[in-house]
Amino acid sequence: MNSENTMITQELNTIKKGFQILLKTDEDDARPVYISGNFNNWRTQDKDFLMEHIGNNLYQYEFPNDFDYPKELFYKFTKGDWSEVEIDAHGNRTENRSTKKNSGIQKEYVARWRKNWLPFKQSFLPQVLLISDEFEIPQLNKTRKIWALLPHDYDSSTESYPVMYLQDAQNLFNEDAPYGNWEIDKKLAVMAEYKIGKIIIIAIEHAEKERIKEYNVGNTVLGKGQGKKYIRFVTETLKPFVDSNFRTKKEREFTGIGGSSMGGLISVFCGLMYPKIYGKLMIFSPSLWVVPKLIIDSDNENTDDTKIYLYAGGDESETMIEHVKTFKQNMIASEFVKDKMKINLSINMQGKHSESYWSDEFPKAIEWLFFNSK
């Protein structure tokens, strides 16, 4: 068979097989490559759209013969999550790709991939404002340093924004934090670049040596705590101040509270004690061992559409995964929740009890809690 006949045969085989996407990338690693688009609701880990690794830095995807093509195919490549999406050679976001083909081969190219939402652009960093280094806490007769992270274009905008109250501000964006930090400023910058995540973060510093006591609610294995007073401070003192001084969306569906470890535990209690105030809970690696017989009960009026993002790492402790799964089941079974709450349980079996893993989870939680209506 001559070369011309060979080429014709190959073209006929291609048409018979349907439409293929061939991807070349300069930067490759062990992470798989997925296609996300308007044909699968932009899901990032859809196994039906996992690309085949066919050579060094080379991937292909072959659409099935019965694939129902939209009028125009819009898509992007990811390494399994929007935190690991394709970027250009300079670290910039890439626009959605598109084609009207439904046969033949579409050749594509990706220069680089994000990893853990980075790199970020300085121009999208949130404004970091120190509200006060001695904000009064009348419920505890103390003062506290409290920060606000505002969207990068807050001053030039007239928008109002949802609010997330976070515990342990010392570990959220402080480059000198002894155990690392969540890098929420950098993560918010990347999210803003992608036009998601415009939110106000209120970061409340913990009480240093009295942190455990302040985040402990009632009589527990840690003794008697001051958690109820702290919760009253955040809810009855701090939130009204924030709503009066910033352009916030005040309603419960736009108000969240969260934290990790003991900060996650106190956030659970905030949600249980004030379900009419907090519609979003971001609970990372909560210290549920402190209250092994946690009673989930509340006034369930006006708690429709409450969302809880619950995260745990498999390498944190022998009981962490068991505790969060039990907590989720108890929440689902309780009269307080019934069919009203949505709970997203995220487990990283390699995850440790540390800021770097909570940092990775932060943008996923914010997006799901506030900006994902699916």
How many degrees, rounded to 5, is the angle at CA 315 between CA 310 and CA 316?
65
Amino acid letter, 286 = P
- pLDDT (tens place) for every residue of the chain, 374 residues total: 555 555 444 444 444 458 999 999 999 999 999 999 999 989 888 999 999 999 999 999 999 999 999 999 999 999 988 889 999 999 989 999 999 999 999 999 999 999 878 889 999 999 999 999 999 999 999 999 999 999 999 999 999 999 999 999 999 998 888 878 999 999 999 999 888 879 999 999 999 999 999 999 988 888 898 999 999 999 999 999 999 999 999 999 999 999 999 999 999 999 989 999 999 999 999 998 887 666 655 555 556 688 999 999 989 888 888 888 888 877 766 655 555 678 899 988 889 999 999 999 999 899 999 987 65
The identity of residue 355, as a single letter, is E
For residue 14, the model assigns a pLDDT of 42
What is the side-by-side order of every strand in the sheet holding 73-78?
Answer: 34-37, 73-78, 97-99
Res 21: pLDDT: 97
User: Beta 163-166 vs 200-204: how paired, if at all?
Assistant: parallel
pLDDT score recorded for residue 165: 98
Closest CA to 133 of 125, 123, 142, 124: 142
Residue 268: burial class (beta carbons within 10 Å; 0-12, 13-18, 19+):
buried
pTM of the model: 0.82
- Between CA 163 and CA 147 the distance in angstroms is 13
Determine the residue type at 360.
Answer: D
CB 262 within 8 A of CB 223: no
Q: What is the pLDDT of residue 328?
A: 82
**Per-residue model confidence (pLDDT) at position 6:** 53
Please give the helix or strand (H or E) that residue 146 lies within, else none. strand 142-150
Helix axes 184-193, 355-366, angle to 10 degrees: 30
d(Cα 321, Cα 342) in Å, to the nearest integer?
19
| Residue burial 310-343, b: 16+ Cβ < 10 Å; e: rest | bbbbeebbeebbebbeebbeebeebebbeeebeb
Q: Which residues pair with 106 in a beta bridge?
A: 21
Write the DSSP symbol of residue 181. Answer: -
Say what the pLDDT of residue 322 is.
Answer: 87
